[in-house]
Amino acid sequence: MNIAASSTDHPQDPSEPRAFVRTTFDLGDAVLRPWGREDAVSDAMLAELVAAAADPLIALWNPLPTNDRPAALAWLESRHAGWDSGANASFAVLDPADGVLLGGLSLRWVDRADGLAMIGYWLLPAARGRGLAARATNAVTAWAFRTSAARRIEIAHAVGNEASCRVAHRCGYLPEGTLRASHRFGDGTYHDEHLHARLSTDAEGGLPVNP
């Protein structure tokens, strides 16, 4: 698997603010690229985001505030703002053949000064079942540790979300315990969550970045 990052992928000057710098990843069967201004003027993309919000698994475990076109536009604007401020690295996962939306992945600072970040992901049904979330998470994790001041990245998922648990394990995010009734999910109820984390000092525990 060849995972190529764009030319903006460079280690950060430690004296610079701890911003995420826009980059893209080529995973072969998928491309990760920052949500862009072009998405806001794409009827197809807006329709795909509305459809993603309606998917039952996404609506349950990773609700998207993109239920209609104005909401999708507002959400896209928040993605830009996150990149512009360096607070949030939010990627569209796209089919390289036709640009069709496959999913999304976001890395955001929880405590920027402390190097603590959190990652989340969702895939549309057609893109599931081929390990794509793990490969995307592994690529972005390696990039974040290499190019930003990320020291610790967390994944939290509802205990009942076994696919997400497997993704975390596959990417070397070690289990650290169960958070009780820690987050209200799409069904409107609070669920216990597993907390997983990876440290920049951990041995490469995930999938190989450049096998």
* Sites of contact with ligand COA (CB under 6 A): 57-58, 61-62, 120-123, 128-134, 157, 161-164, 166-167, 170
Task: Give 57-60 contacts, CB < 8 A, sequence gap 24+.
Answer: 57/125, 58/122, 58/124, 59/186, 60/185, 60/186, 60/187
Residue with Cβ nearer ligand COA (18 or 79)? 79
Please identify, using beta-carbon distances, which residue of 86 and 193 lies nearer to ligand COA.
Answer: 193
Pick 121 or 147: Cβ nearer ligand COA: 121
Shortest spacing between CB 28 and ligand COA, in angstroms: 14
Helix (H) or strand (E) holding 111: strand 101-111
The residue (of 34 and 104) whose beta carbon lies closer to ligand COA is 104
**Integer Cα distance of 116 and 113 in angstroms:** 8
Smallest gap, in angstroms, from Cβ of residue 21 to ligand COA?
A: 25
In DSSP terms, 194 is beta-bridged to 157, 178
Q: How far is CA 171 from CA 31, 90, 99, 202, in A?
A: 18, 18, 26, 11
Q: How far apart are CA 51 and CA 20, in angstroms?
A: 28
Closest distance of CB 146 from ligand COA, Å: 23
Q: Are 117 and 110 in contact (CB under 8 A)?
A: yes
Report the nearest approach of ligand COA to the CB of residue 84 (Å): 25
Residue 173 CB, shortest distance to ligand COA, in Å, is 11
In sequence order, what are the residues at sequence separation of 6 or more whose Cβ sits closer than 8 angstroms to the Cβ of residue 144? 20, 89, 107, 117, 150, 153
Q: Are 61 and 163 in contact (CB under 8 A)?
A: no
Tokens read off for 209: 């970045």
Minimum separation from the CB atom of position 16 to ligand COA (A): 30
Cβ-based nearer residue to ligand COA, 74 or 159:
159
Nearer to ligand COA, 46 or 207 (CB): 207
